[in-house]
């Protein structure tokens, strides 16, 4: 199961979540999250930044 790094841009809180949990937390449709990450590498709104966990882990290394 894929994991996603979800950062709350207002609080700085970072969580690693499943797609379903990221959808519930951010209220962004899972298909929009997947599309944005595939096209842009991230799904970002005024409140949240979501990246694929594997990509986030690689950029931190």
Domain boundary assignment for the chain: 3-60
**What is the per-residue pLDDT for 54?**
76
Q: Give the pLDDT confidence score for residue 36 in this predicted structure.
A: 98
pLDDT of residue 53: 87
What gap in Å lies between CA 61 and CA 44, rounded to an integer?
22
Per-residue pLDDT of the chain (61 residues; tens, 9 = 90+): 789 999 999 999 999 999 999 999 999 999 999 999 999 999 999 999 999 987 656 666 5
- pLDDT at residue number 58: 63
Q: Tell the residue number behind the tokens 């096209």, with chain if given.
A: 39
CA 52 to CA 38: how far, in whole Å?
9
Instruction: Judge whether 12 and 25 are in contact, CB under 8 Å.
Output: no
Q: What is the pTM of this model?
A: 0.85
Instruction: End-to-end CA distance of the chain: give it in Å, rounded.
Output: 22
User: What is the per-residue pLDDT for 49?
Assistant: 98
CB–CB of 5/34 below 8 Å?
A: no
């Amino acid at each position: 199961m894929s994991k996603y790094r979800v950062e709350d841009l207002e609080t700085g809180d970072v969580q690693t979540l499943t797609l379903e949990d990221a959808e519930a937390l951010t209220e962004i449709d899972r298909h929009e999250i997947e599309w944005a990450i595939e096209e842009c590498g991230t799904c970002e709104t005024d409140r949240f930044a979501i990246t694929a966990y594997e990509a986030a882990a690689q950029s931190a290394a």
